[in-house]
Amino acid sequence: MIYLDNSATTKPYKEVLDSFHQVSTTYFGNPSSIHQLGTEAEQLLSAAKRQAAQLLQVKEEEIVFTSGGTEGNNTAIKGIAYEHVNRGKHIITSRIEHPSVLETCKALEGQGYDVTYLPVDEVGRVSVSDLEKAIRSDTILVTIMHVNNEIGTIQPIEEIAEVCSRYPKLYFHVDHVQGLGKVPLSLEKIDLCTMSGHKIHGLKGTGVLYIRKNISLFPLLHGGEQEFGYRSGTENLPGAVSFVKALRMTLEKQSQDKGKLADIRQALSEKLRDMEGVILHDSEHHAPHILNFSLPGFKPEVVIHAIEKEGFIISTKSACSSKNKDESAVLAACGLPKDRTTSALRVSLSYSNTMEEIHSFSLAFQSVKQQLSKVMG
């Protein structure tokens, strides 16, 4: 089976699993305990935090270990909203964010907050000019994803950060879950940034929220004041260590295999473009590991299952919304016609995929398309 659904989740590295097992069996003490086992666990947790900070080029006290992307996004958005409500109740985001951002914003709207959902162009990019026009005197947060999880569009984060830096009363949060290890991102002018372990060959239930030093957040969890008070609860030490292991290995691959993902994606793009009836959702602002395309007239779930029988795993859209068989909300927000928004497919790569796999997939996809066209096309 050839796995091409890496934006949904990735296969954990063996080294990650080994580190999780070793820490779970050897350093099982509670990091908050004062005896030797607790002290050893606390020292390992500090080391993991220090290494994560070095890899991300930030300060150790700016790293908060979380359970992943959804918790990171909720903590950042609600944390700013609740803590700084006296400054204002206006939040800016885009129409194509991950559900963990959109649903959080909707929940805040139910509590009296005002949210501006920025439109995107036909390739899924927000306008920096639109964003600046939307900023008001009561705006407290701008939250924009780095790489879109369905179509792979890269947002102009550096330009947005520059705009936000001119407004000292608002904070800028970036959902970096899909970009981590694939698309470089400087955290220099970003206040909060969400990352997830299982998207980089780490384990589900692990992640990091970067919180710029001296930013005050209302914590979603109260209790033992772990993680600088941002996230109470006994720390997931094996998860934290395994996250750092996955982060280190992924960043090394990003450096060593520079260009590999882009080359494979380009090859796939060229093969699909030559197939009759396939429409690519492509642009110059795409990430190197995600390719989204439509097959009008074909039900995507039928194509998914047919190609799976040939030994390939791909997806329709993001895993967090794939059980909704209606049209892609992301492609609809891009203003694309319904025959494209209801027939989208996504191929997402990892550094372990090869050019040979993509060649095999292309042949299998062409064959499946021809077979299905007799009954669906």
Which residues participate in catalysis according to the annotation?
320
Mutual angle of helices 355-373 and 260-273, in 10-degree steps = 20
Mutual angle of helices 300-309 and 355-373, in 10-degree steps = 120
The bridge status of strand 290-294 relative to strand 344-348 is: antiparallel
Measured between its terminal Cα atoms, the distance across the chain in Å is 27
Could you count the other beta carbons within 10 Å of the beta carbon of residue 143?
25
Q: Quick one: which of 191, 110, 196 has its CA closest to 147?
A: 196
- Beta strand residue intervals within 251-297, DSSP E: 279-281, 290-294
* Distance between CA atoms of residues 21 and 44, nearest Å: 14
Q: Quick one: which of 142, 152, 217 has its CA closest to 179?
A: 152
Residue 54 CB contacts under 8 Å (≥ 6 apart), including other chains:
none
